[in-house]
Amino acid sequence: MSAPPPVPPADAPRPSSAPRPGVAPHLRVAMSSKRMTWLAAASLVPALGLGVALYGVPALMVTGASLLCALAAELATTLPWRRFTLADGSAALTGLIIGLVLPAGAPLYVPAAASAFGILVIKQSFGGLGRNWMNPAMGGVVFATLSWPGAASWSIAPLGWPAGAALTPLQALRAALSMPGSHQATPLAVLEKAGYSFSGLDSGVVGWINTHLLSPAGLALRQGTLDVFIGHVPGAIGASAPLLALGAAYLLHRRVIRWQLPVIYLGSFVVLSLVFGGLASGQGWSAGGPGFHLLSGNLVLAAFYAAPDPVTSPLTGTGKWILGVVLGALTFLLRYFGSLGDGAAAAIVLGNCLTPLLDLWTFRRPEAASRGAA
Amino acid sequence: MSWEATLLTFALIDNVILSRLLGVDPYGMPGSLRSAAAAGGLFTILMAASAVAGSVLETQVLAPFGLEALRTPAFVLLVAAFAAALHGLAARRAPAMLEEAGVSLGRTATSTAVLGVVLIASRGGLDAGRALLAGLGAGAGFFLVTSMMTAIRLRLEVEPVPRALRGFPLQLVTAALMAYAFLAFDRGFLARFLGR
Amino acid sequence: MMYPTKLLKGGIDPPSVTTVPPGSAIVNAALPSRALIPLLQHAGAPARCLVKPGDLVREGMIIGRAEGLRSAHVHASIPGVVREVRPFTLPTGESCEAVTIELGGSFETSGKPTVRRAWDGLHRADLLQKIRAAGVVGLGGESLPTHLKLAADAGRAVSLLAANGLDCEPSLSVDAALLRQKPAEIVEGLRICQSLLSPRRTVLALGDHSEELVGEFERLIDRCGMTAEVLVLPARYPQGHEQLVASAISGTPPGADPTVTVLNVATLLAVFDAVVLERPLIERVMTVTGSTLSRPQNLKVRLGARVGDLLEECGGQPATQKVVMGGPMRGVSVQSLDLPVTKGTLGILALGASEARAPAELPCIRCGACIEACPWGLAPTRLFKLVRIGKATAAFREGLSRCTECGCCSYVCPSRIPLSSILGQGKLRHSREATR
Amino acid sequence: MSTGLLLLSLCPAIAMTDTVIHSLWMSAGVILVSLLSTIARDVLDRSSASTATSPKGAVRLLRALLISSVLTAAFEAGLLAVSPTASASMGIYSPLIAVNVLVIADRQPAARSLARSASGALGRGLAVSASLLVVAIFREALGAGTITLFPAGAFRGTIIVGPLVDQPVRALGLAGGALLCLGYLAGALQAIATRRASAASEGEKPR
C-alpha cells in the first residue's frame, strides 16, 4: 500500500510529561470520508424501508444477497493481505445501492453476481477504494443486466396488487410503443390500459385535488399520478423518488454530496425530454412527459447516489458541469431509444469512461507548471 | 444502410477496439493524450483510404474475376502500401505529428485494426462512399476509445494498483469494462434512434 | 464592504481554537528569571556569539553579531549574568549556539521615560543602519532581516509598499491587537519605510475584523501628511500571505511583481522602536491561546522566555496534550516546554486530547476538496500521489514549486491525508535531486 | 516466450474464443502460418545473406507480408474445404492471422539455425493455442454453459455444463468477456513472471 504519513504513531514511547508531536496543520475538518460513506448508506434506509413494505420478503432477500455478496467479496480481496476495509463503508454502500436498483422479483444470483462483479472486477482489481474509475454499483448492475436481461428486470406486483409478475411503467410504455397505433397515448393512459390497479389512496388524493383545486381551472390529474410519484408501481426496490430525494436532501445539507452534478444531470434530462421526448413516443415536438420518466425507474437514485460518487466523478467544477449535461443527454437517449434496463445505470458507466478525460481537459495548471505528464 | 447508420455502426456499435477486439496491443499504448490524438488521426486517414480502396478492389477486381481466394494477400498488401504512402507523406508534411504519434511503419502496415476495417467493409459489400464513411467512423471510434483508455491509464499510473495487474492486464480489464458500457448502444438503439 | 477584485481563490475558514477576545489589551508577560537566547532567530546564518559564561550583560546589549548577508544581530533581552553558552537545536530542526542569561543587575531602558528621536533629517544609510543595529527581522513568520527588504536597490523603483495588518494564521490576533493599541507608532513606522523606499503606492491592508479602525488610520495618515491608502481584505486564511496581500492590492497574479514590498505591522512597530526609540528588538507580542488555557491572551514577551512559563501565565492546565509554536495551520508541535520563544514565534497553542489525536489516514477518494482549497491553483491530490511514488520531478512539472505548505489541503481532506507535509517532503527531495 | 509477446499475439486471436472449437481452428491457423512463414523467411534470409544484397527495411517487410498472407490465404482455402461452417464463423479473423504472426515474428531475435527458428515458431504457436484454449473453455462454459468440440460418433459435439446452460453469464460470452478473461490471464502470467524474476534475484540481493 502507500507509504505511511510522516507522523510518529500515537503510541510511540515518549515521556509522559512531554506534549505529543504531530505535523501541521493541527486542525482538521470534522467530516471524514468514512463518515460520508456511512451517512450516504444511512440516508438510503427510508427508500429501502418502503421497498420492503411494498414487496415484502423478496425485497429483503434481494437486498440482503447483494449486501452480503459485496461484503464477502471485499473481505476475500483484502483479508489475505492482512487488511480490513469493511469499516470504510464503501462495500456496504455499493451492495445497498445494487439491491435498491434491482427489482424484487430478480432471482438471487442476479444481485449476487452484480455485487461480486462490482467489487472484485471494477473496484478491487484497480486497488480498492479510490482507485476504481467506474462506479462499482452501476457497473455491477450493467454486467448483471447484460448477462440476464430478463431475470434482472423481473418486477413483481407491489402491495395491494394481485400477486404475480408485473410490467414496470417503462416496460409497459415500451410494449405499448412497440405496437402500432397506440402512439398518441400519454404514459399514464398506457399504464391504465396495461391494467395497472391504482391504490385507493391514489384515487382519493387525485380525486380530491381534481375536484377542489384543478376543476375550476378546467384541468385534471390522471389516475395513478400519486402512485407513480411515490413509487407504488412495479419496479426497482428503491424507486420511491420522494424518499430518495429526502435522503439526498440530507446529504446535500451535510455537504456529503454537492448539488452541481445531480441538479445539472436531472435538469438537462428534463429539458431534453420536454423538447424531444414527444418525438420518441410519436407525439411530435415538446409533447413529452418528463415527470413520468423522472419519477419512474432509477434515474433519481442514479443522479443522487451514483453520479456524484467522488471517486468516479470529475475533480473540477467545469468537469462536473460538462459531465452533468452529458449524463442527462445519455440517460435521455438510452431511456427513450435504448434497450439496456432503464438507461440510468448505463448512462452512469458511460459517463465514468469520460471522466478521466474531463479531468485532464478541465484542470488548468498554474502558470509556473509547463506542459507536464498528461 | 443509411449513411448515418453506417457511421454510427462503425464508430459506436461495432467499435474496432471494444466490439471487434482489434487494436489493443501491449506495445501500442499512447503515452499521452496528444500522442493518442496524433495516432488516432493517422489511423483514421489510413482506415478511410484503405477501406475505400478495398471496396473498389473487391467490387471491380476480385469479385468479377473470381479471385476471392487472393483477397487476403491483396488486402494485406493494399494496407501496407497505403501505410507506407501515408508515412512518407506525413514524414514530409507533418513530421511533428508522426513523431507525436510514435507509431512505426511496421506497426501501421501490420495493424490488425486497419486490415479488420477493410475486411469488414468489403465483406459487408459496402460501396466506395459507404466504405469511406465506414473508415471514418471506425477511425473516430478508435480515436475516442484510445483517448479514453489513455486518460484512464494516466490516472492509474500514480495509483498503487495490485502489482500483478499493473500495466497491460489492467489496460485489458479497463477495455472490458468500457466494452460493457458501450453495449448500451446496440442495434436496437440504432434502429429506434434513426427509425423514426 | 467593497473588497479589491483579486482576492485569493480557495482558502479556508477554520474554526479558531478558543481565541483571545478581540479588543482585549496586550499584557506584559512577567520578566523571565532566566532567558535562553538562540543565536539563530532569522533567515540566514547563525549570529556569532560575543559573550562567554560569567560575562555581565546589559538589557539590549548585543550578544550575537550578524554573520553574512541574511543574518541579523541578537541582543540580550534581560540584564544579568551569562550562565552558559551551549549548542542548541531549534524546534524547526536547525541548530546553533544559545546563550543563557540569568536575571540580575538593573534596567537601563525598561520603565524609564522614553526619548523620541527625530529621524526626518537622517540619511537613508543611517536609517538602515539603525534598523540593522536593532536586529529587526520580519515578525510575520519569515524572519528575513528587515533592512534587506528596505534597502531598495537603485534603478528599480518599488511599485508598492504594503503594510500587512492581516494575521497570517487563524486564531492568532497579534496584528489585530497591535493595530488597536499602537496605531500612531505603526503609521510612523510605515512613514519611515516609505521614506526609505519611496514607492509609487503605499497601502495599509487591514483584516475585516479590524474594519472599524479604517477611519482612525486615515486620520493619522492625513495628520502626518503622508500619502497612503487604507484597504480592508477578508481575513480568510491564507489571505494574510505576503504574496496574496500584494496581489489582492495590485491586482497582479501572486508573485508576478518582484518590486512589491510587504511588511507586517508588528515589523513596522519594530522599525519604529529601532529608529525613533533606538530600542533593539528584545521583545515581541504573541498570541498564547488554546482550548486548554483558562486565560488566553496576547502577551508582550521578552525573547528567550520559557514556553512553559508563558502557558502557566495564561492559565495552562494539565489537560494540555499538544503544544504548538506558531499557528494552527503551519506551527511546529514541540516536545518540550523548556524551549524559548524567538523573534519568529507568532504564538503558542495549547491543544487538548481531541485536537492532539493524529487522525488515521484513509484512501484518497478524489473528492477534489483540496483542489478547491488550494490558493495557488494546484491539484494536491495528484501531486501527493506523484511524490509518494517518487516522481517529485514530475510533480514539479505540475506546479509543486508553487506550494507554500499553507496546509489548506490537509485541513479540508476528508481522508485525513497529510497532503501539505507530503508536498513539503517532495519539495525537499526535488531540491536535493537538483543539487545532486 | 516472453509474456508481452504472448499477449501481443493473443490480442487479435482472442475474438475467436467464444467457443472452444473456434479457438481450436484459430490455433491451428496460427501454428501453421507462423511455422511455415518463419521457415520460409529464414530460408530466404540465409540464401540472400550469402549474396551481398541482403534486403532490408520496407522491402523486407513487404516480402514478409507477402509470404504470411499467401500462407494465410492457403489456410483459409483449406479451412473452407474442410469445414465451411468453421470458415464462415471465423469471419474476418482468419485473414488477420497474416499480420498477426508477422508482428510476433518481427519481435523475435534471429535464431542461429533453421531448426532453432522453426522450433521457436512452433513453441510460440503452441503457447498461443494453449492460452486461447484456456480462455475459450472458461468463456464458453460460463458464458454459454456449453463446451463445443467435434461431433465424433455417438458424441454430438457439445458438452452441457450443468445448470449454467439455463442461465449462462452471457456477459462473458460478449466481446467484453474476451477482454476480461485475457486481462486476468495476462495478470496471472505477469505474476508468475515477476515471481520467477524475484526468485532469480533472491541470490544476489536478499530482500
pLDDT tens profile B37-55: 999 999 999 999 999 999 9
d(CA A219, CA A216): 7
Contacts of A43 by beta carbon, 8 Å cutoff, 6+ apart: A246, A247, A248, A250, A251
Q: What is the largest CA-CA distance in chain B?
A: 59
C385 touches chain B (CB under 8 A): yes
Of C320, C329, C366, the CB nearest to A19: C320
CB contact under 8 Å between B159 and C385, yes or no, is: yes
B100 located within any domain? yes
d(CA A365, CA A347): 30
- Residue linked to cell 542569561: C101
Query: What pLDDT was estimated at residue A213?
Result: 84
Contacts of C250 by beta carbon, 8 Å cutoff, 6+ apart: C6, C159, C160, C201, C257, C260
* Residue D187 reports pLDDT greater than 80: yes
Q: What is the largest CA-CA distance in chain D?
A: 66
d(CA C339, CA B89): 73
Selection from D98, D104, D26, D109 nearest residue D65 by Cα: D98
Query: What pLDDT was estimated at residue A367?
Result: 54
Query: What pLDDT was estimated at residue D59?
Result: 78
Contacts B147 to A, Cβ<8 Å: 357
CB contact under 8 Å between C329 and A23, yes or no, is: no
Query: What pLDDT was estimated at residue B27?
Result: 67
Helix/strand number for chain D, H first, E second = 8, 2
Q: What average pLDDT does chain A have?
A: 86
B168 located within any domain? yes
- Residue linked to cell 407525439: A283
Nearest-Cα distance to chain B for C389, in Å, is 7
d(CA A209, CA B134): 56
Average pLDDT of span D18-43: 89
- C49: cell is 556569539
- A128: cell is 480498492
| Residue C259 CB coordination number (10 Å) | 14
Yes or no: say if A265 and A307 are a contact pair by the CB < 8 Å rule.
Answer: yes
d(CA A294, CA A270): 7
B26 touches chain D (CB under 8 A): yes
Nearest CA in chain B to C395: B158
Among A135-139, A231-235, C405-409, which range has the highest average pLDDT? A135-139
Rg of the Cα trace of chain A? 23
Residues listed for chain A: 374
Q: How confident is the model at residue D54 (pLDDT cuts 50, 70, 90)?
A: very low
CB contact under 8 Å between A21 and C361, yes or no, is: no
* Residue A159 reports pLDDT greater than 80: yes
Q: What angle do CA C347, C353, C357 make, to 5 degrees?
A: 90
Nearest CA in chain D to B169: D183
CB contact under 8 Å between C329 and A88, yes or no, is: no
Chains that touch B (3 or more CB pairs under 8 A): A, C, D
CB contact under 8 Å between A28 and C364, yes or no, is: no
Contacts B179 to D, Cβ<8 Å: 174-176, 179
d(CA D131, CA A220): 66
B61 located within any domain? yes
d(CA A58, CA A158): 11
Domain extent for B166: 3-189
Domain C124-276 falls in which CATH fold? Answer: Rossmann fold (3.40.50)
D174 touches chain A (CB under 8 A): yes
CB contact under 8 Å between B26 and D7, yes or no, is: yes
* D80 burial level (CB within 10 Å; 0-12, 13-18, 19+): middle
Contacts D174 to A, Cβ<8 Å: 146
Nearest-Cα distance to chain B for A352, in Å, is 9
Q: What angle do CA B86, B91, B93 make, to 5 degrees?
A: 90
Among A83-97, C110-124, D81-95, name the one with the lowest average pLDDT.
C110-124
What is the 3 state secondary structure string of A306-359?
HCCCHHHCCCCHHHHHHHHHHHHHHHHHHHHHCCCCCCHHHHHHHHHHHHHHHH
Nearest CA in chain A to C390: A3
3-state secondary structure of C34: strand
d(CA A53, CA C248): 59
d(CA C266, CA C185): 10
Kindly tell me whether chain C and chain B come into contact, counting contact as 3+ Cβ pairs under 8 Å.
yes
Split into its structural domains, chain B has a count of 1
Where in chain C are all domains bearing CATH 3.40.50.11540?
124-276
d(CA C189, CA C149): 14
Where in chain C are all domains bearing CATH 3.10.20.600?
29-109+280-355
Contacts B115 to D, Cβ<8 Å: 95-96, 99
What is the DSSP secondary structure assignment for residue C223, as one 8-state letter?
H
Q: What is the pLDDT along chain C (436 residues), one digit of tens a residue?
A: 456 556 778 888 877 666 788 778 899 999 999 999 999 999 889 999 999 999 999 999 999 999 888 899 999 999 999 999 999 998 888 889 999 999 987 776 666 667 888 888 888 889 999 999 999 999 987 888 998 888 866 667 888 999 999 988 888 999 999 999 999 999 999 999 999 988 999 999 998 888 899 999 999 999 988 899 999 998 888 888 988 999 888 888 887 788 889 999 999 999 999 999 999 999 999 999 988 888 999 999 999 999 999 999 998 878 888 899 998 999 988 888 899 999 999 999 998 888 877 788 999 999 999 999 999 889 999 999 999 999 988 898 888 988 999 999 999 999 999 999 999 999 988 888 777 6
d(CA D182, CA D189): 10
Yes or no: say if A136 and A123 are a contact pair by the CB < 8 Å rule.
Answer: yes
Of D159 and A123, which is predicted with more confidence?
A: A123
B107 located within any domain? yes
B194 located within any domain? no
B158 located within any domain? yes
CB contact under 8 Å between D98 and B116, yes or no, is: no
d(CA A288, CA A295): 14
Contacts A306 to B, Cβ<8 Å: none
Helices (H), C285-412: 307-313, 353-356, 369-373, 380-388, 392-397, 408-412
- In chain D the first and final C-alpha atoms are separated, in Å, by 27
**Looking at domain C29-109+280-355, does it have CATH number 3.40.50.1370?**
no
B108 located within any domain? yes
- Residue linked to cell 530466404: D44
Q: How confident is the model at residue D106 (pLDDT cuts 50, 70, 90)?
A: low
- C173: cell is 490576533
d(CA D6, CA C342): 67
CB contact under 8 Å between D174 and A151, yes or no, is: no
Handedness of CA C315, C320, C325, C330 (dihedral sign): negative
Query: What pLDDT was estimated at residue D2?
Result: 65
* Residue A124 reports pLDDT greater than 80: yes
Query: What pLDDT was estimated at residue A370?
Result: 36
Mutate to test the interface with D, among A147, A153, A340, A353 (most CBs of D within 10 A): A147
Query: What pLDDT was estimated at residue A3?
Result: 41
Nearest-Cα distance to chain B for A361, in Å, is 10
- C90: cell is 531549534
Nearest CA in chain C to A30: C414
Of B158 and C141, which is predicted with more confidence?
A: B158
A194 touches chain C (CB under 8 A): no
How many residue pairs from chains A and D have C-beta atoms closer than 8 A? 17
